[in-house]
Amino acid sequence: MKLFTVSTNRKHALGRAFNRLATYSAAAVLGATGTALLTPQPALAQQRVDQAEVNHQVIEQQSAAANVADVAQLLETGFCRGCNLTGADLTGEHLIGVDLRGANLTDAVLSGANLEGADLTGATLINTDLSGAFLTHTLLDESVISNVNFSEATLIYTSLEGAEINDVDLLNAQVINTPISVGGSYDQ
């Protein structure tokens, strides 16, 4: 009897009968008649665990790909209503007049970005970095703004009507005619 391992590289050569088993790498025993008997290797359980991990990584990559597609759409068209921009790095981007209504900007980095005239009505900004960003005539109405870094940002005539604002950093921010402060009051 001759023992050999069927690898994934050789599965096409063995034909359709071995297709499913070859993906898991089976051991084939050839008898005197040339008939192939397939028996699983002891590592089959580990291979199934490894395959599950690969499947999980593929799902994560597909999620990231959707995010990349949304970032590309934003940068190409300036229109990204309801987009998932979670964790996106938009540092220093010129996003003047963009439509980000209902977008998710959780964990996004927009440090030094220019959001002049941008519409972020109903957007979610949680753990978002807007340090040094320009938010002049920006609409943040009905937005969720929590744990956002506005340090050294410029907020001039920024609208926050109906926004839910919690735990923001305004250190060295320039705030003019914008209803936001550390204490939550509005001073013109």
Parts of the chain belonging to CATH 2.160.20.80 = 78-176
pLDDT at 67: 86
- Give the whole-angstrom CA distance, residue 24 versus residue 9: 12
pLDDT of residue 42: 53
Which region among 17-31, 34-48, 83-97 has the lowest average model confidence (pLDDT)? 17-31
Looking at residue 49, its pLDDT comes to 62
**DSSP letter, residue 61:** H
Give the Cβ contact number of residue 161 at 10 Å. 11
CATH code for residues 78-176: 2.160.20.80
Question: In sequence order, what are the residues at sequence separation of 6 or more whose Cβ sits closer than 8 angstroms to the Cβ of residue 2?
Answer: 29, 30
d(CA 47, CA 24): 7
Q: What is the pTM of this model?
A: 0.64
pLDDT in tens, 134-178: 999 999 999 999 999 999 999 999 999 999 999 999 999 999 999
Instruction: Say yes or no to pLDDT of 21 above 70.
Output: no
| Residue pLDDT, tens place only, 85-123 | 999 999 999 999 999 999 999 999 999 999 999 999 999
Q: How high is the pLDDT of residue 54?
A: 61
CB 143 within 8 A of CB 122: yes
Whether the CB-CB separation of 111 and 133 falls below 8 Å is answered with yes
The answer on pLDDT for 72 being more than 80 is yes
pLDDT at 140: 97
